[in-house]
Structure formats: C-alpha cells, structure tokens
Amino acid sequence: MSELLCMKPGRIGPMELRNRIVFPPMITNMCELDGRVTDRFIAYHEARARGGVGLICTGGAYISLPGKSMANQLGIHSDDMIPGLRRLADAVHRQGAKISVQLFHGGRQTMPALNGGYETEAPSRVKCAWSDDYTRELSRDEIRELVLLHGQAARRAREAGFDCIDVHGAHGYLINQFLSCYMNKRTDEYGGSLENRMRFLREVVREVRSQVGDDMAINFRVCGIEGTEGGTTPEEACAIARAMVGEGVNAVNVSAGNYEALHLMIPPAAMPYGWNLERARMVREAVNGAIPVIAAGRIKTVDVAEKALSEGCADFVAMGRALIADPELPNKAKEGRADAVRPCIGCNEGCVGRLAVMQQPVTCTVNPAAGRELEIRPAEKKLEVVVVGAGPVGMTAALYAVRRGHRVTVFEKEDKPGGQLNLADKPPFKSELGDYAAWQARALNASGVSLLCSRNMTAHDIEAIRPDVVLLATGALPLVPPLPGVNDVRHYMAQDILSDAETWKKKLSRRIVVIGGGLIGCETAELLTDAGHKVTVIEMRDDMAPDAEMMSRGMMMQRFAEKGVTCMPKTRVTGMENGALRVEGPEGEKILGAVDDIVIAVGSKPCNPLEEPLKKRGIRVIVIGDAVNPGKILAGNESAFQAVCSL
C-alpha cells in the first residue's frame, strides 16, 4: 500500500512536521476564569498529540481582557500565563507534535458579560454580534497599543516553548474586522482600500516577527470567503495571502465565515465534505508555492484529506472536529485502519452548541471522552457488565466499559444493532448517523464485546447471568397524544415512516400534516416533501425545531421555504372531524381542509420495563440515555460515559 499523502512529513517555515494533518485552533472553554491553563485543557491537547497529529493549534488565546469572548477561554495577556503554557507545550512535545498558539481579540464578537465588563471595541462603530448594542471605535493610539499587545503575547508563547504563532485574520474577529468592508467603515489610513484595511494586519505581523525572530513560524488564518455582503471575497483573500508572503508569514490557513455566516465557519452536516477546498486552491495558486496552504472546512475523513492534497488544493489539511471525534485518526490512518476512525457526524452539538450557546466546555456527541480525558481510567476491579440495548447509547457504554477493562455483554432485541440510528439516518443530510452506527458495530466487534441480537431479555434471563451491574439502554417509545377524533383520520407515527421510508413515501397520499414540529417532525416532513408530498407542519412552540443545532436549523428553515413546506408555529391541534383538523393558533381557531394523511411526532417517553424487576432481585442497575430521559444522542452518550466512569 502506498503511503498516504497526509502522512508524509512537511515543513512550515522552521518547523518540521511529522505529517500533513493539523489540529486547527478552536476555543475549548476549558481554562480557568483568569485564562490559566488547566490539567483538563492539557489532557485534551495531549490526547490529540498522542493520536499522531503533526501540528496542534490552541484555540484563540486572548491578548487583552477586552478581547476575551468566552468565560473559560485561554489567556496569553499576562506573563502569569507562561508557566501553564509551558506545561501545555511540554505535554504536546512529549508526544511528538508541534504546537502553535492563536492570538485572539474578539472585537465586536464579544460582550461585557464575557470579557469582565469592558466596553466592546472594534475598528468602527458597528452593531455588536451578540447584542443590539454598538461597539466603540478604536482610536489610532489604541490600534497601536493592540499591535504591541499582539507582540507581547507572541513573546510569551516563545518563552513558553511554543513552535509557532497563529495570527487570526478570519471568522469575524478583530483583524478580520479591519480587513472586511462589512465591518470596517473607517475613513482614515486603516479603512477604505484593501491596502489600508490590511495596514493593521501588516503591523501586527511585523510586531510579532520582531518579538519571536526568524526561527519561529508564523501562520495566518484568512477567510477564503466571509459569506456576508461586503465581507472578504475569494479574490481579496488571495490578495491578502500574497501580501502576507511579503511580510514573511510561513503559512496561510484558509477558512471561512463569521458570526453572521456561522454555517461557513463551522459547516454542519448539510454542507458537503471539503466544501471550502476551491477557495484554498485559489489561495494556493495565488501564493504560487511561496508558502504552504492549510485547507479547512469539513475535511472529516482521510479520503477527503487525500483529495485536498492530491488535487493540489492544499499542502496541509485542518481536521478539527474529526480529531475531536477521534484523536487517534492520524495513527489509524498511518496503520491502514481508516475504517476504525470514529466518524464526526457534523451535528455541531457538543463542539459548538455547548460552547457558543451554553458557554460550557467543548465535548463531542460521538466521543463523550473529549474534554474528559482525565476521567476515563482503568478499573480497579473488573466487573461482569451487562448492557441491555444496542442503540448508540448502549454501544457507547459497552465500548467505554471494555476500555476500562470490564467484561461486557450487550443484548439487543432487534436483529441488528443501531437502535434509533437505523431510523434517524433516513432524512436528508442525516446519512452520517448511519456511518456512526456502522462504526459502533465494527468497534464492538474489534473490542471483544459480546453482542447478542434478537434477544428480548427478561429480568429472569439477566439474573441467570449473574452480572455485577446492568446498564439499561432500552430507549424510548413515541408519545401518542390524546387527540379527539384521531381514529377518524389516517394517521401514522413518524418512527413508522422512518423505519421503512421508501415504502411509506409511495404509500402516503399527497397532502400530509405533520403534528409536531420538533426535530423528528421537521426531518420527517422534509423527507416526505422531497418525495413529492405537500406537507404542513404544526408546532405548539414559538419556532419550528427549536431544539435543533442553530446552523442546521437555519439551513433547514431555508430549505423549507424553498421547497414550499408550510410551517404553523404557535399552533395546536384541538380535534379532528370529518377527515379534517381543527387547530388553534395566533389567528384563532380554524379548520384545515384537504388533509389525506397525518404523521404524529410529538416526542417520546422512556421505555424502561426492566429496572424495577432487576432491583427487586438485588441486581445493581444504572439506567442511561432515553430510557431515563429522552433527548439527543449527545446527552445519552454522556450519561453512558458517566455511568461507566462510576463503575
């Protein structure tokens, strides 16, 4: 087998890297409130270095308190940060990787509640990204001070033993705000022409170089496309990259998007793999081999990485969420075990939802150990563990239990594992859930876990095995609302539709109402719309799919508008009569006529028939996932991880 291109050594300035895979900068929210490094933060990065990545870039480290944008963000604003940063660099170096720190100032994309009460500052007086407030325009003296602060931060990184500095000119943060007409309205030497808008960036890069010397690499991150009117265009990105070559930058990292175009910045499952490679190719052609180009944007598999390199789009590949999902991706690729890589599913729930929406540390739906590397240790005593249910949560529990050294048997009542994943992968843009289910089954087989399907276990059956502990992952059942007259209309459960989608798409009549506009209801509605049905979705809450990840939801609502799906939020079904639905909404009560079929998707209830019978037999039981609280895979897998760590 020929060597993978992504496994070949590469050079960025003075840095020799063992391969072409980069773990790009992503804020983790794992540090102390004052910005100091924590053991958790170090363990998170060390795991990815141990996994074989060539270069690790820390998420944005704020250079000053006004620039801070997350409560537990990494800081590099004070010499007090140096000892912790040195521990981080040493940990990464011990595993054979190089390490870079990204210098960060949020500009308009922060707010006083996050930066300690400082007024939001930016190149121009524009609307803040997080609120309806407006920023304060920076003076020339303040701009000069920010240039010096970048240099001081770079000096701290050098003293801490880092190999590289990342200058952040993308994603709508401060330097990008100077570069972008969307955010830069200045009329002095820092605004107007592209050359003027690049002035701050040039000054920052020169100051950083003066502090770190020529034997330390400087990388620059640019938006290949910003995605907003007046934002950075691909042509401007190429011009900026050429200018950075002249300033002695050692590599350019091509990303995309800002807070108004988050779907480009952190592309969800509805975006194609490697969607940004064409912008990276343009930049690579623009710099004409003078410096290497790092491509970013849903490079989630080894195959996509190889495509980026073999087709000349980039010299290195940034694989962020892929390495959160599986830190061992590079090692597995090198060993020819790409099918053993735990796949990122593009859900953005643990990596973005937890961070941006909930201000919590980063984790991962498919890898709940991400950010909790210190919690998973070998068991002091090996136990006989029985897991009932081979859905995603049950299989996650089994995999972590065997990793800790326990003996594990999994029972599944259906004829194959996967549980709800076997339904959830049917709607548009959800096929990666099927990839995840397939990976879990392969991982179980490789781990030595005993998986027994078509086994509908009773408490008596389990008692006969004499387990030390039973993990119940028996899932949930769909709720059936008490709707008057429901039996007078043809009605089906969304789960029935998804269980045999191809048959049902042909069987159902043209005009369909979906009762329940949560995630399952909306995904089922889109599936049926794509099959040619005319679909109306009714939801009691204020918005459709309010629990969906924000980027995926935004793209879904746009597709609904394009496809003609009728959405009725703030509306409830009050009854059915003579084949029609009676609903009550913002405009009062009315009758929906011309309805052929109804699909019900109003949530689920726990299915947990074994807990009490097992407890009466004196067997230790832990209920996990939907069997205790129906919800997303993220929450279910976290409950499985926590249960296994408690054994």
Task: Return the HEC string of 534-594.
Answer: EEEEECCCCCCCCCCCHHHHHHHHHHHHHHCCEEECCCEEEEEECCEEEEEECCEEEEECC
- H or E element at residue 600: strand 597-600
Give, in order, the Cα–Cα distances in Å from 131 to each of 62, 127, 233, 552. Answer: 21, 8, 26, 22
Burial classification of residue 188, based on how many CB atoms lie within 10 Å of its CB (0-12 exposed, 13-18 middle, 19 or more buried) = exposed
Task: Record the tokens describing residue 443, joined without a space.
Answer: 């991982």
| 508 vs 155: CA distance, rounded Å | 66
| 595 vs 581: CA distance, rounded Å | 8
Burial classification of residue 502, based on how many CB atoms lie within 10 Å of its CB (0-12 exposed, 13-18 middle, 19 or more buried) = exposed
Give, in order, the Cα–Cα distances in Å from 69 to each of 57, 61, 116, 541. Answer: 18, 10, 10, 31
Residue 11 in 3-state DSSP? strand
Instruction: Kindly provide the residue ranges of all beta strands, DSSP E only, lying in 19-105, ordered along the sequence.
Output: 21-23, 55-62, 98-104
What is the full DSSP assignment across 367-429? -TTTT-GGG----SS--EEEEE--SHHHHHHHHHHHHTT-EEEEE-SSSSS-TTHHHHTSSTT
Instruction: Kindly provide the residue ranges of all beta strands, DSSP E only, lying in 63-127, ordered along the sequence.
Output: 98-104, 121-122
At position 41, the amino acid (one-letter code) is F
Beta strand pairing call for 21-23 and 316-318:
parallel
Of residues 62, 173, 182, 400, which has the active-site annotation?
Answer: 173
Q: Is 173 designated active site?
A: yes
Q: Return the closest-CA partner of residue 205 out of 191, 194, 219, 192.
A: 219
Residue 435: how many CB atoms within 10 A of its CB? 18
Task: Record the tokens describing residue 296, joined without a space.
Answer: 């970013």
Residue 270 near residue 295, CB atoms below 8 Å: no
Q: Return the closest-CA partner of residue 255 out of 279, 282, 286.
A: 279
Residue 412: how many CB atoms within 10 A of its CB? 24
Alpha helix segments (H runs only) across 430-474: 431-447, 459-465
| 591 vs 574: CA distance, rounded Å | 10
Phi, psi of 91 (to 5 degrees): -65, -45
| 31 vs 12: CA distance, rounded Å | 28
Torsion of Cα atoms, 44 then 47 then 53 then 55, to 10°: 40
Taken in order 291, 293, 294, 300, the sign of the CA dihedral is negative
- H or E element at residue 610: none
List the catalytic residues.
173
